Amino acid sequence: MSVEVKVPSPGESVSEVEIASWLVADGDYVEKDQEIAEIDSDKATLALPAEESGVIKLIAEEGEAVEVGQVIASIDTDAAAPEGGSSAPKAESKAEEKKEEAPAPKAEAKEESKQSYATGSASPAAKKIIDEKGLDPSQITGTGRDGRITKDDAIKAEASMGTPSNAARPSSTSRMSSLRRKLAQRLVSVKNETAMLTTFNEVNMQPIFDLRKQYKEDFKEKHGVGLGFMSFFTLAVTRALKEFPQVNSMIDGDNLVSFDYADISIAVSGPKGLMVPVLRNAELMSFAGVEKDIKRLATKVRDGKITVDEMTGGTFTITNGGVFGSMLSTPIINPPQSAILGMHNIVERPVAENGQVVIRPVMYVALSYDHRIIDGRESVGFLVAIKEALENPAELLMNNDPKKALEL
């Protein structure tokens, strides 16, 4: 019996995907639930498992765009499983290939022996192009008779960068994944379709350092996760969104949609690129809840098991370039959202406190926002509200009871 392998639906509004790579070859025997392919949608890269065991026949090509529900392979379930492994024939074929390839050096030697006085000399038309482009004829391989440089060789040749060298200068060209192409389109559209501005501020992180130093061991022992910076920033953002609801809005045609809840998108770097899973109803979460959910989602991103549903529907985004050493940046809005908060690295800097210069751990923060719906007063006030909460977390985020807030 032959079982058809169809493209599953990765999520709502996705009608077409791309076969990123086949993980098996045509004619291979596959086991049930074995991952046979990776498919790219506009929003995520997903693994496609085999529904049955048997010999697979590939129908669609790698890199081909296919519709949801389209048959891309079939599995012959009546085929018997191979005994003792099927690698021997492959090994023999590889050995045969090597034998066939062995004479190649001799052929190359013969070609080298064919070089003559004409090798590397340019035709009049080629010489004119070489002079105009400022090329070195010795760096051009001629394809004409006896190695002569033709006009076509001169047109295709490119000037070398820096000092000419005999070292190999390899390059490669590969097709961008569907996810990366969609991301590129969205980034360009943000620049072209929004009135994006960025405002900056700095945060004295010493109060958070002190709280983490005091409670991080007990927190980890109680909840099984570390007390990181993301929980402080997430709760500071949800507090500020209540104070400035305009930031928690987005444009839908001619309408303005405002949200009474805070679904916070957290940018996470994974093997397939930057993913943005969502913390649902973050305004209702505790410090422990935020840290556990971020760890769960980040693990799924890095294992390639994140789903499209877990990355859609956010109302505000937090991105942390500081983990890569970024000191300052202008983050790009994650459409259709209207704002994004950028965190950066923490560096000890001189700070004036009570007329004295002291050294404190300081982080620069950036808020990029869509000026079409968020005015300067709201954007600056929103970022200041975050700064105030982070510099006085015990009072503004923990209601003066850190142990209760941390559930210790």
- Would you call 37 exposed, middle or buried from its count of C-beta atoms within 10 A (0-12, 13-18, 19+)? buried
CA distances from 101 to 10, 62, 88, 89 (A): 44, 27, 20, 18
Structure tokens at 205: 């992180």
Q: Catalytic one among 33, 309, 371, 401?
A: 371
Q: Which residues contact 248 (CB under 8 A, 6 or more apart)?
A: 241, 258, 259, 262, 315, 316
Q: Which residues contact 361 (CB under 8 A, 6 or more apart)?
A: 204, 205, 206, 209, 346, 347, 348
d(CA 23, CA 34): 10
Identify the H or E element spanning 49.
strand 45-49
Asked whether the bond before 207 is cis by omega within 30 degrees of 0, the reply is no
Q: Catalytic one among 136, 218, 375, 401?
A: 375
CA distances from 387 to 205, 343, 364 (A): 10, 12, 10
Reply yes or no on whether 78 is catalytic: no
Identify the H or E element spanning 296.
helix 287-302
Q: What is the DSSP letter of 323?
A: G
Reply yes or no on whether 254 is catalytic: no
Q: Whats the size of the chain, residue-wise?
A: 408
Residue 185: which of 332, 317, 302, 66 has the closest Cα? 332
d(CA 342, CA 201): 11
The CA-based diameter of the chain, rounded to the nearest angstrom, is: 89
Place of tokens 């009135």: 195
Instruction: Report helix, strand or coil for 196.
Output: strand
Catalytic residue ranges: 371, 375
